[in-house]
Amino acid sequence: MSIRVGVDIGGTFTDVALEHPDGLSTFKLLTDYSQPEAAILAGIQQACDQAGVTATDIEQVIHGTTLVTNALISRRGARTAFITTQGFRDVIEMRSENRFEQYDLNLNLPLPLVPRQDRLVAKERVAASGEVLLSLSEEDIADLVHQVREGEYEAVAIGFMHAYANPEHERRMEEALHSSLPQVSVSLSSVVSPQMRELPRFNTVIANAYVQPQVADYLGRLVALMKDSGIAAPVFMLHSGGGLISVETAIEQPVRLLESGPAGGAIFAAGYARAHGVDKALSFDMGGTTAKICLIEDGFSKSANTFEIARTYRFKKGSGMIVSTPVVEMVEIGAGGGSIASIDAIGRIQVGPASAGSEPGPACYRRGGEHATVTDANLILGRLDPEGFAGGAIPLDPSLSQIAIDAELSRKSELSVAEAAFGVTEMVDENMANAARVHTVEHGRDIEHFTMIAFGGGAPLHAGRLCEKLGLERLIVPPGAGVGSAIGFLRAPFSYEATRGLFQRIDDFDCDVVNATLAELEAEASAFVAAGAQDMATMSRLTVFMRYSGQGWEIPVSFDAVHFKKGDETRLVTAFEAAYRTLFGRTIEALAVEVTNWSLTVSTPESPTPAVAIPEHTMQAHVTRTRTVFDAALRANVEASEVARDLMGPGAVVDGPAVIIEAETSTIVPTAYTAQMLPDGALVITRKACAP
C-alpha cells in the first residue's frame, strides 16, 4: 500500500489523515487563516511523526478546503467585471424576485457579488434554439475590452443568454480579452456551467471568476512549498461532486471546489455503507454550528446540479446565492453543539441557528459564554462527562450551564432547568429529524428504510434519539468520525462531471445531435480525469434531466448508455417513467416528455471496499462505571453503562442505556437500542427488538 495523505481545511480545524502500510494516522490542528499551506505542512509532518514515516515518502496529497466558500461569504475576491447580454444586467440582483421570509418587513436581500457598475453589457442575443438573433460586433467587443482595461479589473466573468446552446459569442469575447489583456483571468458561463437558467449560470461563472486569482495564488504557493519541503507527490483537489481533479483543473474551475469538506464526509459515509452492505443510508454529520444530512443509496451519495451557498438569513432557503455546478446533494441546517437556545414570543423553546461557535462557545466552556447552548443542555442531561470532554482537554463546568439555562430559559417559561435542558435537546433533535424527513420525501423515499451513519463531533450524541424519532432500526458510528472528511478524501475516485443544456423533445429526438454532444462531454470529462488519473481505467455514467412537457422542474434520470441508437429514446422514456414513479408515485398518460440537461460523469472505479464480517462471537463490553443519563424516549433519568470505545474488541456488546466514550466524542445508546463493535472499528447500534 502506498503512502497517501488527505488534508481538509475547515473553518476552525485543519484535519490530516495519513494512510500508510501500518494503517491510518489522523491529526487535527487549528486552521491558519493567513498561511493555510503552512498548517498543512505542519499537520502532515506531525501525522508522519506519529506514524513513523518520512514525509518525502508520501506519494499522493489530496486536498479540500473551505477557501472558496469563505472567499464568497466574506466577499474577499478579485475585482471582477461581469459581461452579459444587454437587457440582462440585473439578473443577479433581481434574483427570483421573492422574499425568503414572508413576515419580516425589514428584510435585507443578499447583495450581488458584482455591483451594478461592474456589470457591462454586450449588444448580442442568442435564442433558446442557439440561433443568433443579434450578432456581437467587433466594435462592441473592442469597446468592452476597453472598459475592462480602464476599469482595472483582475477577473472577468462572461455570461450571455442561452450561451449553453451556442457559446460562440462568449468565446469571441474571451479571445479578445486574452489577446489584449492576458493578465486578466476570464471565466465563461458556457464552460463553467453550460446549463439552462440564467440566474444560477451567471452566479456560477461570477463566483468562479471572483475566486480564481486567489485560488490560483494559493494552490501555486502550496505546490511550491511542498516541493521545497521535499514532498514530490502530486497534489489533487477534492471537488464538490466528491471526486478528484488536478490542481490545474481546480485553478481553471475553482467554483468546483465549493463544499469539498462535506463531500469528503459523504464519501467517508458511503464507504461504510458499502462495507456494511447498507443500500439505503442517511449520513448525519453534526458539528458546532450546523448539521448536514445526505442520502446514500447503493453505496453512492446523491448528487445535484444546483445548490445554494452563503445563506445570509437563518440558513433560510433563498437567502443565499444559487449556483449550478455538480455537487453531492445534502441539506444543511443551523443545528450544532453551539446552537443557542431561547424562548420565543409565544413561550416556546427555539434552538439555533445562531451559534456560540468555539469562541466564546457554550457556557460550560468557561470562556465567558452566557448563552444556553445544546452542549450545555447535553451536559445537564448527563450525556457529556464534564471531565472527559475532548479527551479531558476542555474541562466543562456544569454549574455555568445551570446558570445559563436558568437565566435564558427557565426564568422565561415555567420549565425547571432539567425540563428546559430536555426541551432544548428534544427541539434540536426534532429540527434535524424534520429536515431529514423532508429531504427523503423530496426524493420520494420513505425514511423508515434507511440506516443512519453518524460522524462529526456532535452526531454520536444525538444520532440515537434521531433514529428513535425517525423510526430507524440501525445506526453506524464509524471510527475516526472527527476527521471523517479527510479520511473520505483518501477514498475518492478521480472524476469529472461535464454538463450541457441541450433541449430535446422525445417525439422529435435527434440521435445525431445528442450523440455529438455526448461525445463532446465525454471527451471533456475524460481529459480532466486523465490529467490526474493518468492511464487508469475509467467508466462513464450518463444522467439525463427530464420532465413532462409543460412542467417546470426536471428530474435526474440515470441511463445505462452514453450513446444513442435509433429507438433508444423509448428506453429513455421508460427510465424516466420509472424515476418519475419513484418520486411521485405515478406517471401521467398522454403527455410529451422532454430533456433539458445532459450530464456525463467520467470516473475511475471506487476503491474496493471489503465487506465487514459480523463477529461470530459476542461478548459483553467492559463497563467502566454507571452514570445517570436522561433518556429522551422514556422522559426519565436512567442508569447507563459507561464503556470506553477503545477497549471494545470486535464482537463487544453493550445494551442501552449506555454511553460509549472516546477522546473526540461520546456515543449515546438509548435504552431501546444495543451496540456492537465490529472488526472495522465501527459501532453498529440496533433497535433491541430488531437485534439479531
Partner 1 sequence: MTPTAIDYQIMWNRLIAVVEEQATTLVRTAFSTSVREAGDLSAGLFDRQARMIAQAVTGTPGHVNAMAESVGHFAREIGALNILEGDVYITNDPWMGTGHLHDITVVTPVFRQGLHIGFFACTAHVVDIGGRGFGPDAGEVYEEGLLIPISKFADRGEVNAFLIHVVRANVRTPDQTIGDMYSLAACNEAGNRRLQAMLDEFALVNIDALSDFIIDSSRKATREAIAAVPDGQYQYHMRVDGYEAPVDLCVSLTAQGDRVRADFSGTSGASRFGVNVPEVYTRAYACYALKCAIAPEVPNNTGSLDPFEISAPEGSILAAKRPAPVSVRHVLGHLVPDVVLGALHQALPGVVPAEGASALWNVQISARSTDPAADRPPAEVLMFNSGGTGARPSLDGLSATAFPSGVSTMSVEATEHVGPIVVWTKELRAGSGGAGAYRGGLGQIIEIEPRAGYEFWFNAMFDRVENAARGREGGHNGMAGSVELTDGTKLRSKGRQKIEVGQCLRLSLPGGGGYGPPQARAPAAIVADLAAGIVTPAQAKTTYGYEDPNDD
Tell me which of 89, 302, 541, 627 binds partner 1, using CB under 8 A.
89
Least CB distance to partner 1 at residue 421 (A): 10
User: By C-beta, is 365 or 509 nearer to partner 1?
Assistant: 509
Orientation of helix 260-275 relative to helix 484-491, angle to 10°? 70
| Smallest distance from partner 1 to CB 127, Å | 7
Q: Tell me, residue by residue from 591 to 610, as one string, x for binding to partner 1 by CB under 8 A and - for no binding.
A: x----x--------------
Q: What is the rounded CA–CA span in Å between residue 43 and residue 526? A: 33
* Binders of partner 1 in range 458-517 (CB under 8 A): 469, 471, 503
Could you tell me the smallest distance in angstroms from the CB atom of residue 253 to partner 1? Answer: 22
Residue 44 and residue 18 in contact, taking contact as beta carbons nearer than 8 Å = yes
Site for partner 1 contains 158 (CB under 8 A) = no
Are 602 and 526 in contact, with CB atoms under 8 Å apart?
yes
Q: Which of residues 57-86 bind partner 1 (CB under 8 A)?
A: 86
For residue 493, what is the DSSP state? P
127 interacts with partner 1 by CB under 8 A: yes
Taking alpha carbons only, the member of 545, 548, 568, 571 closest to residue 556 is 545
Q: Are 305 and 499 in contact (CB under 8 A)?
A: yes
Query: Which residue number, 199 or 354, has a Cβ lying nearer to partner 1?
Result: 199
Query: Does residue 302 interact with partner 1 by CB under 8 A?
Result: no
Per-residue x/- track, 406-435, partner 1 (CB under 8 A): --------xx---x--xx--xx--xx--x-
- Per CB under 8 A, the segment of 179-187, 249-257, 279-287, 580-588 that binds partner 1 is 580-588
User: Minimal distance in Å, beta carbon 144 to partner 1?
Assistant: 17
The secondary structure of 189-241 as a DSSP string is HHHH---S-HHHHHHHHHHHHHHHHHHHHHHHHHHHHHHHTT--PPEEEE-TT
Residue 570 CB coordination number (10 Å)? 10
Name the minimum Å distance from CB 201 to partner 1.
8
- Find residue 623's DSSP bridge partners: none
Distances (CA, A) of 73 to 77, 112, 206, 426: 10, 12, 14, 31
Nearer Cβ to partner 1, position 128 or 611? 128
Site stretch for partner 1 (CB under 8 A), options 2-10, 109-117, 276-284, 366-374: 109-117
> Residue 373 carries which DSSP code?
B
**Which of 108, 537, 610, 689 touches partner 1 by CB under 8 A?**
108
Q: Does 49 bind partner 1 (CB under 8 A)?
A: no
**Residue 480 backbone dihedrals phi, psi, to 5 degrees:** 65, 25
- CA–CA distance, 371 with 360 (Å, rounded to integer): 10
Distance between CA atoms of residues 193 and 1, nearest Å: 37
Q: How far is the CB of 554 from partner 1 (least distance, A)?
A: 10
- Dihedral-angle region of residue 681 (phi above 0 means left; psi in -120 to 50 means alpha; beta otherwise): left
Choice from 2, 49, 56, 133 touching partner 1 (CB under 8 A) = 133
Q: Which CB sits closer to partner 1, 66 or 324? A: 324
For partner 1, give the closer residue by CB, 537 or 590: 590
From the list 1, 393, 537, 590, which residue makes contact with partner 1 (rule: CB under 8 A)? 590
Q: Per CB under 8 A, which of residues 3..32 are in contact with partner 1?
A: none
Applying CB under 8 A, among 172, 197, 366, 541 the residue interacting with partner 1 is 197
For residue 378, the tally of other CB atoms under 10 A from its CB is 28
Write out 601-644 in H/E/C secondary structure: EEECCCCCCCCCCCCCCCEECCCCEEEEEEECCCCEEEEEEEEE
Task: With contacts defined by CB under 8 A, name the span among 3-11, 107-115, 174-182, 621-629 that binds partner 1.
Answer: 107-115
224: Cβ contacts below 8 Å, ≥ 6 apart: none
The nearer residue to partner 1, 518 or 555, going by C-beta atoms, is: 555
Decide: is 228 part of the binding site for partner 1 (CB under 8 A): no
Contact region for partner 1 (CB under 8 A) — 173-181, 214-222, 391-399, 546-554? 546-554
Q: What's the rounded Cα separation, in Å, for the pair 512 and 520?
A: 12
- Rounded Cα distance between 146 and 150, Å, is 6
Nearer to partner 1 by C-beta: 199 or 511?
199
- Residue 178, interface with partner 1 (CB under 8 A)? no
Whole-number Å distance between alpha carbons of 491 and 473:
27
Q: Using CB under 8 A, which of 44, 91, 459, 463 touches partner 1?
A: 91
By CB under 8 A, residue 34 contacts partner 1: no
- Per CB under 8 A, the list member of 49, 90, 279, 298 interacting with partner 1 is 90
Could you tell me which of 128, 260, 275, 212 has the C-alpha nearest to residue 610? 275
The CB-side HSE value for 540 (13 A sphere, CA atoms) comes to 19
Nearer to partner 1, 253 or 425 (CB): 425
For residue 203, the minimal CB distance to partner 1 (Å) is 12
Give the total of residues touching partner 1 (CB under 8 A): 71
- Rule CB under 8 A: choose which of 175, 298, 359, 442 binds partner 1: 442
Stretch that binds partner 1, among 374-382, 393-401, 492-500, 581-589 (CB under 8 A): 581-589
Amino acid at 494: F
Select from 32, 46, 88, 614 the one that contacts partner 1 (CB under 8 A): 88
Nearest to 377 by CA among 670, 630, 666: 630
Contacts to partner 1 from residues 344-383, by CB under 8 A: 344-349
Q: Pick the closer one to partner 1 by CB: 596 or 626.
A: 596
The three three-digit cell numbers of residue 158, written as one number: 462572461
Q: What is the DSSP letter of 407?
A: H
Could you tell me if residue 441 is left (phi over 0), alpha (psi between -120 and 50 degrees) or otherwise beta?
alpha
**Binders of partner 1 in range 610-639 (CB under 8 A):** 635
Is 556 a residue that touches partner 1 (CB under 8 A)?
no
Applying CB under 8 A, does 199 fall inside the site for partner 1?
yes
Q: Is 438 in the site for partner 1 (CB under 8 A)?
A: yes
